[in-house]
Amino acid sequence: MSPERVPEERRFTAPQGFLLAGSFLITLGSFAVLPYMSVLLHQRLGLGIGMVGFVLAVASLIQFAGGVVAGPVAARIGLRRSMSLALALRTAGFAAFVPGLSSPVPAIGALMLVSAGAALYLPANKAYLVDGSPEAGRPRLLSASSSAFNAGMALGPPAAAPLVMGSPGVLFACVAGLFALVGVGHAFLPREKARSQAVACGAPSGSPARSGLSPFLVTVVSVYAFMFFQHYLALYAVPRTSAGYYGVVLMGYAALLVVAQPLLAEWIAALSYPAALRWGFGAMAAGMAAIAGGGHVGIAVGGALLCLGEIVLFLKNDLEALARSACPPATVFGRQRLAAGIGAFASGVVGGQLYAAAESAGSARAFWAAVCVQCLLLPVLLLSRRTARGRSEPRAETVPDLRG
């Protein structure tokens, strides 16, 4: 092999490159409008805050828990058609917002269409991305996918800010057009190498022995811990710094995620699962402690540490879930979405009560200290549960030959 030649496994195929570019555009369009949805429903359509919260909770439940439908749909119609169907639903949903901006009922229906499309798309997208790729290539592909999604998440809200309140109809029409164009591109993707089949799921045959940790459970717990940061940093940071500084922290967070995850992917893949838990939750605990310290520096450093924790845990959970299951990848990723939804829901419920209690006690910093303690305890509990399971299961041991 000549030194100039790039190894084949280091390249992206044309379909993979298109999917990564499409992932960026899809998330750019989605996050141009979805972060402002509570404002539109409340201020423009007149829904009460309580009703807005209920609507957004239902939409989130559809978006996350609906991922379990992606596997059966892909098994029946294939990954490419699943993605096309999902994009058609999202295109119709964003287009329906244009006439729906004068009445809450069609607007809510449009939001549910968008959420249903999101539930179908991401598991099929990730499954198509890794289709036919060796296990060693999965960290690179999944980390690149995450970077593309996060780049869109970072740029979507500022790109839409000039239009979201003044001309929302124009914004939704542009987003619907963007999704329609990306959907047309998906129709030209080649058929996946291995059509998803409905199979009995279990451990893949011939797979190496792995720790007894459940990727589903670890994903629930990982998202539960992380979403305290996602849900409640604004309430804490804006009064202590400024809205502008908070926005800079979020953009820096997204930029770090986009750059660092591909660079760390192979290292994360090489970590044992227990080591990844210690690194990931340890970084989250340190980040929560830094935020509790308050001030501009503490919040920025805390965000960077939380970013490291997210990179390690979220990528490792997906890799372990794929490696441990004989199910089609779309089914695996759908279950991971369900786990993320459960974790996010639990974090919202617990976090609201915890933050209210901390504020009533006169110290919002106590909230972050309490979350830091949880991040320290959670890997200990997960690993002790794994040890207890290992002791309760019969071990295959070598029996000495006593016949001679």
Q: pLDDT of 179-222, one tens digit each?
A: 999 999 999 999 876 554 444 565 565 555 566 789 999 999 99
Domain count, the chain: 2
Are both 188 and 218 inside the same structural domain? no
Residue 205 within a domain: no
- Indicate whether 18 and 163 sit together in one domain: yes
Q: Are residues 137 and 232 in the same domain?
A: no
Domain final residue, candidates 142, 157, 192: 192
Which of the four pLDDT bands, split at 50, 70 and 90, describes residue 83? very high
- pLDDT, residue 168, reads 82
Q: How many CB atoms lie within 10 A of CB 247?
A: 14
For position 206, what pLDDT does the model report? 52
What CATH number corresponds to the domain at position 283? 1.20.1250.20
The answer to whether residues 93 and 170 belong to one domain is: yes
Q: Are both 141 and 237 inside the same structural domain?
A: no
Is position 293 within any domain?
Answer: yes
Residue pair 181/303 in contact by the 8 Å Cβ criterion: no
For the cut 50, the answer to whether the pLDDT of residue 46 exceeds it is yes
Q: How confident is the model at residue 354 (pLDDT cuts 50, 70, 90)?
A: confident
Is pLDDT at 317 greater than 50 in this prediction?
yes
- The predicted-structure confidence for 167-179, as pLDDT tens digits, reads as follows 888 888 999 999 9
Mean pLDDT lowest among 25-39, 92-106, 252-266: 25-39
Q: Which residues are CB-neighbours of 11 under 8 A, at least 6 positions away?
A: none
| C-alpha to C-alpha distances, 280 to 27, 43, 140, 152, 276, nearest whole angstrom | 25, 39, 19, 24, 6
Same domain, 231 and 377: yes
pLDDT at residue 397, rounded to an integer: 36
Residue 2 is assigned to a structural domain of this protein: no
Q: Is the pLDDT of residue 328 over 80?
A: yes
Taking 90 as the threshold, does the pLDDT of residue 90 lie above it?
A: yes
Query: 137: which DSSP letter?
Result: G
- Is 35 inside a domain boundary? yes
Question: Which tokens sit at 146?
Answer: 């995450």
pLDDT score for 289: 97
Is the predicted pLDDT of residue 353 greater than 70, yes or no? Answer: yes
Give the integer Cα–Cα distance in Å for 377 and 381. 6
Provide CB contacts within 8 A for 192, sequence distance 6+: 78, 79, 80, 127, 128, 131, 132
Domain that holds residue 314: 212-389
Cα–Cα distance between 216 and 340 in angstroms, integer? 9
pLDDT band at 48 (very low <50, low <70, confident <90, very high): confident
Q: 174 with 225, same domain? A: no
> Is the same domain home to 84 and 135?
yes
pLDDT for residue 3? 36
Buried b (16+ CB within 10 A) or exposed e, 341-368: bbbbbebbeebeebbeebeeeeebebbb
Q: What is the pLDDT of residues 358-374, one digit of tens each?
A: 888 888 899 999 999 99
pLDDT of residue 209: 52
Pair 108, 227 in one domain: no
Q: Which of 270, 323, 302 is nearest to 375 (CA)?
A: 302
Q: What are the residue ranges of helices labelled H in 46-202?
A: 49-65, 70-77, 79-100, 104-130, 138-164, 168-186
- Name the nearest CA neighbour of 36 among 182, 121, 163, 148: 163
Q: Establish if 377 belongs to a structural domain.
A: yes
pLDDT score of 26: 93
State whether 178 and 40 are in the same domain. yes
Q: pLDDT grade, residue 60 (50/70/90)?
A: confident
Is 397 inside a domain boundary? no
At which residue do the structure tokens 């542009």 appear? 174
Higher pLDDT: 95 or 341? It is 95
Query: Mean of the per-residue pLDDT values for the chain?
Result: 83
Write out the two tokens for 246: 């908070």
Domain contains 112: yes
pTM for this one? 0.77
Please name which of 351, 313, 41 lies closest in space to residue 168, comparing C-alpha atoms: 41
Average pLDDT over residues 18-26: 93
Residue 274 lies in a domain: yes
Say yes or no: 217 and 143 in one domain.
Answer: no
Q: Which of 155, 174, 194 is nearest to 75 (CA)?
A: 194
* Percentage of the chain exceeding pLDDT 70: 87
pLDDT tens digits, one per residue of 249-289: 888 888 898 889 889 999 999 999 999 999 999 999 999 99
Tell me how many helices (H) and strands (E) the chain has: 14, 0
Give the model confidence (pLDDT) of 150-160 as tens digits: 888 878 877 77
Q: Are residues 265 and 383 in the same domain?
A: yes
